[in-house]
Amino acid sequence: MIEIPTKIANLRLKNPTILASGIMDEDAGSMIRIFKSGAGAIVTKSIGLKPREGYPNPSVIELECGLLNAMGLPNPGIEEFKSEVIKLKKSKVTVIGSIFGSNSKEFTVLGTKMQDAGVNALELNMSCPHAKGYGLEIGSDQKIVEKITTNVKSSVSIPVFVKISPNLTDIPKIAQSAEKGGADAIVAINTVKAMKIDIETQRPILSNKIGGYSGKAIKPIGIRCVYEIYKKVNIPIIGVGGINTGEDAIEYMMAGASAVQIGSAIYSRDIYVFEKICKEIKNWMKTNNYKKIDELIGVANL
C-alpha cells in the first residue's frame, strides 16, 4: 500500500483513498481484496435494521459518462451483516460502517450495533436519491439531520461522518446542521438524481424510473459542493464523485477535501485504481513540491 498519511477526526489512514459505499462492499472477501489492492479504508454497503430486497431489475445501467442506478438500498440487515464486519476486523481492514434509517431511533440502534461489530467509524447515509422514506426526505431537513447526528454521536464513541446529497438548494446549510449535531466529518456527495428514457418503448429504463447518477460526469458538481461546504464548516470533508485519477483527487483536495471516496472508477479502471491514484497523487506532489496532503486542502478557497 502506498502511504500518503491523512487524518479524518481521530481516524488515521495510510492514504486518502476510500472505497465508496455501494461498490463491492457487502461481502467481506471482496472488501478485503479492495483494501489489499491499495484503498486506505473501506465504506460498507448501506445497512438497515432489517433485510431489504431493493428494487427489481433493471436497477443499474451504464450511460455515456457514468452509471445510473436505483438499487433501492438492498442489504442483508444489520444482524446478518455483523459477521462480515467481524471478518474484516480479523484482517485488520479499516472499516467505515454505512447505515440508513427512517428516523433517529433507527440510526442510533444501527450505529451502536455497527460499533459493537467493530467498525472504525460510521457513515450516516441521509442522501439516497431513490429510496423513499430513507434518503432526501431525511437529508434535506436541517433539524432532522442535526437530531439524528446528535443522537448517534451521543450513543457511540467512534467518529461519525454524515453523507449529504447534491440534490439540495443549499447544501452548506445541511453540512452545518450535521456539524452542529456533532458530526466529525462531512461526506459529499451522493449520486445526482437522474433518469434515462428508452425512446423506442417511450418509457423510463429503470424499474424505479428515477435513480442516482455517478461517475465522471458528476465530478464538477462534487467539486463545487465540497468548495462551498469548506467555507462554512470547521470539520473535515471527504469528497466523492467522478474520481478516476490522481489529478481528480487533488482537485477535490484543493476544493477542501481531506480524503476522497472512489466507486465507479473500479469499472472504468480496475480494483487497483486506489494504488494507481495514490501513485499519481504522490508523483504530482513531488513534482510540485508538496510534502503533505494538509498543504493541499482548501488551497483553492484562499
All cell numbers assigned to 190:
451522493
* CA 285 distance to own-chain centroid: 25
Strand runs (DSSP E) across 14-94, as ranges?
17-19, 41-43, 60-63, 66-69
The Cα 24–Cα 37 span in angstroms is 13
Given the residues 65, 128, 225, 278, select the one marked as catalytic.
128
Respond yes or no: is residue 128 known to be catalytic. Answer: yes
Torsion over CA: 1, 32, 189, 242 (sign): positive
All three cell numbers of 24, joined, read 463491492
User: Of the candidates 260, 109, 122, which has an alpha carbon nearest to the alpha carbon of residue 184?
Assistant: 122
Q: How far apart are CA 155 and CA 114, in angstroms?
A: 11
Q: Of the candidates 49, 32, 50, 28, which has an alpha carbon nearest to the alpha carbon of residue 41? A: 32
Helix (H) or strand (E) holding 6: strand 6-8
- Catalytic center residues: 128
